[in-house]
Amino acid sequence: MSTTLLLVQVLNGLQLGVLLFLVAAGLTLVFGVMDVINLAHGVQYMLGAYLMVTATALTGSFWLGLPLALVAALVLGLVLERLVIRPLYGRDHLEQVLATFGVILFVNEAVKMIWGAAPLSIPMPEALSGSIRLMDGLNYPVYRLALLAAGLLVAGGLYVLVTRTRSGMLLRAGATNAPMVSALGVDITALFAKVFAFGAMLAAFAGAMAGPILSVEPGMGDGLLILAFVVIVIGGIGSIRGAFVAALLVGLIDTLGRSFLTDLLKLVLPPSDATQAGPALASMSVYLLMAGILFFRPRGLFPAPA
Amino acid sequence: MRAAALTLAVLAALALVPLGADNYTLSLVARAMIFALAAMSLDFILGGAGLVSFGHAALMGIGAYGVGILMEEGTRDALVAFPVAMAAAGLFALLTGAICLKTRGVYFIMITLAFGQMAFFVTQSLSAYGGDDGLTLAARSTIAGQRWLKSPLTFHYVTLGLLAAATGLCALFLASPFGRVLKASKENERRVRALGIDPYPYRLVAYGLAGAFAGLSGALLANLTEFVSPAFLSWHRSAEIIVMVVAGGMAASALRAGGMGRLGGAILGAVGVILVEESLSNFTEHWRILFGPLLVLLVLAGGWRGRRA
């Protein structure tokens, strides 16, 4: 395995990590602040990609389509919050799982009926197509670098928003003690609605940005949802910082495991065994990581203060 | 009282199904009973001990693969294969449970999901047994060398008998002092500890038992479909089993016949979900577009009822 290949895979891993972070951030906020398990968060990622398909087709441009898709996702998030999530506040976690699982079934099927079951693609913006030479023998697609940069930018913005602004302060206060914040005269229902819709928009942003490099298909959010849950559990529920660290960790381990684990195993196992065990072990690696971390730190890496 | 009556009523209704049912209906109802067994075993730990396992499909799948792999290796008899399937799933539950039960709440949900996913990926890599494509069984298991399970009618009553026996056993466990400890530590773990009882071994035994019964349901499912595949272990299926337990529990408490943890509700839920799925899918190919909102409405309706009470 050469250094170039390793570098490419590290970049790919970071990029998956950034996508995971965008999805996990909303998930961990909704969970930490509102105490709602939202299984439907994955379909918001998928909806982001599909809205982007339509928005770019309508406007004929990636740059006009993106804000349009994000606004549409925000509105859908508000609608979902009002119709399904708001009645679920304070209810049993299991009932939340049941209701939001229902939303998954509905949206996946609705997407299939509206856009069809076949995979779609989003054209890559002209300015970001092509690749850039990072070092000798290493050309890397510009779009993937842009995706990485955009994700890191959003992460930075989110950090400032949560730690330095008044809304962020209310959000953190709401996570610690929602009834108290409400008693101090803050409209907690409106705050929750904003948090939920904002999280939905972040997930949609991830979907829209991933669209040009992945295929857009029904159910694309389901696998990512499970990984995002792994991320927020490793990071500690409610912690944005934890979600960021865990997302990068999961992205790197998953990507590097898939590319190098089989070769590594060949050093210690007969080749036939290694080719069989390698992919399985690579798919398992993030779950092994999670089980290991939970065993030693049952509340994740950065547990939110109780 | 009404909880036991509900269980008996559902089981009696299932016993009467073969009167005037064609083979298609029989296989549909057999499927419902198999999922009822899985859902009942989940309700045993979920309703009975407050342990929300999100990896139940893996336990079921291990049972199914137990039957499939044994058959591939030449052991076709259910008297061997079914106990092996139960033991394998039970052992997996005990080993993973020993780790999972160190965590609580949402973290428990996620770590059981993690182990479920690991089992899923292992079955995907079993290239000797079909790998990704799954494994087609040569035939159904024999019972003491006899090919009784081939007949839909016998299969129906064997499945029903196992479901009834397992439910009876789990109900006995829940009613015993063992079950009291489970229930008490679900309601207030601190008080149980103050009484000098550590709930951990009780929960572990319950988790292992639930695993064994889930394995049995998997063994039956493999026989019904004469096929096993990694999809048996997918997290979607785990979610579906949770849906059966929770929806059934809500329906049972609406009937004032106990909620979750009374087993009857889970059986009712599984049969209900399978039948509703089937009838909606006969009605339209896009049945999920109706089934999804149905689940949401069920939960919201439960909330309205709760607020009035």
Q: Which helix (H) or strand (E) holds A302?
A: none
Please indicate, yes or no, if residue A161 is contained in any of the structural domains.
yes
Which chain B residues are within 8 Å of A276, Cβ to Cβ? Answer: 125, 127
B71 confidence band (pLDDT: 50, 70, 90): very high
The percentage of chain A sitting over the pLDDT mark of 70, rounded to a whole number, equals 99
ipTM over 0.90: no
User: Rounded to whole angstroms, how far apart are CA atoms A291 and B242?
Assistant: 21
Using DSSP bridges, classify how beta strands A131-135 and B227-228 pair: parallel, antiparallel or unpaired: unpaired
pLDDT at residue B309, as a whole number: 42
Name the nearest CA neighbour of A88 among B308, B152, B302, B62. B302
Q: Give the domains, in start order, of chain B with CATH numbers.
A: 2-308 (1.10.3470)
Neighbours of B189 (CB within 10 A): 14
A141: helix, coil or strand? Answer: strand
Residue of B nearest to A100 (CA): B296
Q: What is the pLDDT of residues B234-277, one digit of tens each?
A: 988 999 999 999 989 888 888 877 778 789 899 999 999 999 99
Check B113 against A95: CB less than 8 A apart.
Answer: no
Predicted confidence at residue A89, as pLDDT, reads: 86
- Say if A295 is an interface residue toward chain B (CB within 8 Å): yes
Could you tell me the end-to-end alpha-carbon distance of chain B, in angstroms, rounded to an integer?
A: 22
Residue A181 banded pLDDT, cuts 50, 70, 90 = confident
Taking the Cβ of residue A298 and every Cβ of chain B, the question of whether any pair is shorter than 8 Å is answered with: yes
Which residue in chain B is spatially nearest to A277 when comparing CA positions? B125
B264 by Cβ neighbours in 10 Å (0-12 / 13-18 / 19+) ranks as buried
Contact call for residues B97 and B204 (beta carbons, < 8 A): yes
For residue A302, being part of any structural domain is answered with no
Give the gap in angstroms from C-alpha A168 to the nearest C-alpha of chain B.
25
Q: Do B286 and A280 touch (CB under 8 A)?
A: no
Number of structural domains in chain A? 1
In a domain, A304, yes or no: no
Tell me if A285 sits within 8 A of A250, measured CB to CB.
Answer: no
In a domain, A303, yes or no: no
**pLDDT confidence band for B301 (50 / 70 / 90):** confident
**Whether A102 and B291 lie within 8 Å, measured CB to CB:** yes
* Residue B127 clears pLDDT 70, i.e. is over it: yes
What is the model's pLDDT at position A141? 87
What mean pLDDT do residues B157-173 have? 95
CA pair distance A45, B11, nearest whole angstrom: 43
Q: Would you say residue A205 has pLDDT above 50?
A: yes
What amino acid occupies position B129?
A: Y
Host domain of residue A245: 3-296
Q: How many CB atoms lie within 10 A of CB A157?
A: 10
User: Which of these, A60, A178, A41, lies nearest to A125 by C-alpha position?
Assistant: A60
- Whether B175 contacts chain A with CB within 8 A: no
Rounded to an integer, the average pLDDT of A55-63 is 90
Instruction: Please report whether residue A167 resides in a domain.
Output: yes
* Chains A–B, number of C-beta pairs less than 8 Å apart: 127
CA-to-CA separations, A35 to A88, A176, A231, A233, A277, in angstroms, rounded: 10, 11, 17, 14, 39
Q: Are A222 and A42 in contact (CB under 8 A)?
A: yes
Q: What's A159's domain CATH number? A: 1.10.3470
Confidence class of residue B303 from pLDDT cuts 50, 70 and 90?
A: low
DSSP letters spanning A35-59:
----TTHHHHHHHHHHHHHHHHHHH
Residue A287 lies in a domain: yes
* A61 dihedral zone (left: phi>0; alpha: psi -120 to 50; beta): beta
Return the pLDDT at B304.
64
pLDDT, position B146: 85
Q: Mean pLDDT in chain A? A: 88
pLDDT digits (tens, 9 = 90+) for A251-297: 999 999 888 888 888 888 888 778 877 888 888 888 889 888 888 88
Q: Is residue A221 part of a domain?
A: yes
Q: Flag whether A301 is in a domain.
A: no
Q: Pairing mode, if any, of strands A131-135 and A138-141?
A: antiparallel
pLDDT over 70 at B1, yes or no: no
CA dist A31 and A38 (Å) reads 7
Chain B closest-CA separation from residue A46 CA (Å): 16
Rounded to whole angstroms, the Cα distance separating B29 from B291 reads 19
